[in-house]
Amino acid sequence: IELMLLATNATTLLPVAIACVAGAYITRVTAGMTPAFNIPTLQVFDLHAAAPWGLVLMVPLGIVMGLASSLFIKALDKTEDAFEAIPGGYIVQHMIGMLLLGVLIYAVQQLAGHYYVAGVGYATIEQVLEGVLANPWFLPILFALKLLATCLTLGSGASGGVFSPSLFMGAALGAMFGHVSMALFGDIGVPITAFALAGMAAAISGTTGALLTAIAMTYEMTRDYNAILLVLIAATTSWTTRKMVVGESIYTIKLLRRGHVVPEGLQIAMDHARRAGDVMREGVPDTRTYQVVNDAGTVKVVNPTDQTTIAHIVVERRAGLVDVLKAMEHVDAAIALVTDHPARQDINDIIGWISAEEIARASRRTARLMDSELNHKGK
């Protein structure tokens, strides 16, 4: 919902909800109720009995993960540009990328004794969460290796996602941050596993921009509520940090570079909230371009110069602006007459009209409002 649906309402949420419920139910029936990550250390962890330092430390952890997410986004973007500059087309670019990836995986196996960065990496995440991989010097190396492997894979044109790599890198950096915190402050009552889990959510939040999804998904993958407060703070801080450093998520940065408009927040909702009465020009059109006449009891819009008929629609004052634009596009209408009684064809009922000029004026007001909001946030 956060990534794909620019505006949410009953029409858009219903199919998503049905699909989610059906998928979750079928998975639980066929695969059981076992969580993706079963973490015993979290099940005995009591946040209320822990020192408040655990919550405080989630802020710097979120900042670290936000910076790491920014690095991931920029690195992948630059890697894609580098591969696209290689002559020979997609096949040659992909062959080079996979060759480098194969060398990397083989080198990791030879030097570390395991293919840690191959595949989605869930086995490595399990080892981090279970405390098997607990070397604070090796964990940042795992992060860097996974970052490089992911950039080589996706940058060279391979099919894949960023969720699993983000979980991997978040677990590695989160666990490392936990070890460093305990070395500096001693036992604060929060297990390393909780730091790793918060790092996973923070990485998803910062990289993809799906803050609520990161928080909910972390709970669903562990079925454990004990660390949810830590996850909330780390994920929110990471998202905020990444927005300040990069601005765009890993999904939107390429779209913006190609000239696509990617609205977010209330930007898309503003047009849906407007009604025809909010943007119309009051009165009956009588200009050099449009003139309303009553032709045998039927309202018509004509060109005053040559009396040619101009396509129009009649809408109610409370009609949504988006619906009005859709209706105008459907019949290729140049103007929409606004009335409180659209069923009646009476020129005296017309209270205003909407043409390209009114739509442009409404868009300018939106731009000014959004610009003032951004300037306010910048201060």
Task: Confirm whether 161 is domain-assigned.
Answer: yes
Looking at the fold, whether 251 and 299 belong to one and the same domain comes out as no
What pLDDT sits at residue 374?
Answer: 45
* Segments forming the whole domain that contains residue 1: 1-33
Contacts (Cβ under 8 Å, ≥6 apart) of 258? none
Whether 286 has a pLDDT exceeding 80, the answer reads no
Query: Residue 301's pLDDT band (boundaries 50, 70, 90)?
Result: confident
Check whether residue 229 and residue 297 sit in a common domain: no
**CATH at 373:** 3.10.580.10
Task: Round the CA-based radius of gyration of the chain to a whole number and report it.
Answer: 28
pLDDT at 186: 82
pLDDT of 142 higher than 50 = yes
Same domain, 24 and 50: no
Answer yes or no: is 58 within a domain: yes
pLDDT at site 3: 67
* pLDDT tens-digit readout, 178-204: 999 989 988 777 888 889 999 999 999
Question: Which of 306, 305, 304, 301 minimizes the C-alpha distance to 353?
Answer: 301
pLDDT value of residue 373: 46
**Same-domain pairing of 113 and 215:** yes
Q: State whether 16 and 42 are in the same domain.
A: no
Listed residues 212, 233, 264: the one ending a domain: 264
Lowest pLDDT segment from 113-122, 142-151, 222-231: 222-231
Look at residue 23 and tell me if it is in a domain: yes
pLDDT given for residue 5 in this prediction: 65
Q: CB under 8 Å, gap of 24 or more: what pairs does 72-76 form? A: 72/147, 72/150, 72/162, 72/166, 72/169, 72/207, 72/250, 73/207, 73/242, 73/246, 73/248, 73/249, 73/250, 73/253, 74/246, 75/147, 75/151, 76/150, 76/151, 76/154, 76/155, 76/162, 76/250
Residues 307 and 232 in one domain: no
Residues 152 and 58 in one domain: yes
Is residue 225, in this structure, part of any structural domain at all?
yes
Confidence tier at 171 by pLDDT (50, 70, 90): very high
Local confidence band at 63 (pLDDT 50, 70, 90 cut-offs): very high
CATH of the domain at 260: 1.10.3080.10
Check residue 48 and give its pLDDT.
57
In a domain, 68, yes or no: yes
pLDDT at 259 over 70: no
134 shares a domain with 87: yes
Between CA 62 and CA 324 the distance in angstroms is 44
Contacts for 32 with CB less than 8 Å, ≥ 6 apart: none
Instruction: Examine the domain organization and report whether 221 and 312 are in the same domain.
Output: no
For residue 60, CA distances in Å to 42, 195, 293 come to: 21, 11, 68
The total number of structural domains that make up the chain: 3
Same domain, 82 and 119: yes
Q: Tell me which of 126 and 263 has the higher pLDDT.
A: 126
In a domain, 145, yes or no: yes
Question: Are 237 and 338 found together in one domain?
Answer: no
Are 303 and 292 a contacting pair, CB within 8 Å? no
* Number of helical H runs and strand E runs in the chain: 16, 6
Residue holding tokens 């949420």? 13
Poorest-confidence range of 37-41, 47-51, 88-92?
Answer: 47-51
pLDDT of residue 24: 85
Residues 175 and 300 in one domain: no
Q: Which of 6-10, 104-108, 273-277 has the highest mean pLDDT?
A: 104-108
- Give the up-direction half-sphere exposure of residue 302: CA atoms within 13 A in the CB hemisphere: 12
- Whether 269 maps to a domain, the answer reads no
379 band by pLDDT with thresholds 50, 70 and 90:
very low
Taking residue 231's Cβ as centre, other Cβ atoms within 10 Å add up to 26
Q: Is residue 270 part of a domain?
A: no
